Amino acid sequence: MDFEFIFGVPLILFLTIVAPIWLVLHYRSKKQISQGLTEEEYMQLSELSELADKMADRIKTLEAILDAESPDWRNKL
């Protein structure tokens, strides 16, 4: 077997089949990233932000209750 045949055929197959598909998929994903958030993603993000704010309020309330009932609870952790 010749050197050109062993490395040439896979190289030609890669350059004609794999590389173009790879480039198309790469630039398609770059385009989607540059477009920003979709309306659905924006709605999900705002919903998650509201849930995080509610959770933060609940945590503050729970910490206030624990501080009132057991002032040294933080040291036990």
In this prediction, residue 35 carries a pLDDT of 77
* Cβ neighbours, 10 Å, residue 66: 13
Q: Does the model's pTM come out above 0.75?
A: no
Handedness of CA 61, 63, 68, 70 (dihedral sign): positive
In this prediction, residue 34 carries a pLDDT of 75
Cβ atoms of residues 35 and 29 within 8 Å = no
In this prediction, residue 2 carries a pLDDT of 77
Q: Could you report the per-residue pLDDT of 9-66, keeping only the tens digit for each?
A: 889 989 999 999 999 999 988 887 777 778 898 999 999 999 999 999 999 999 999 9
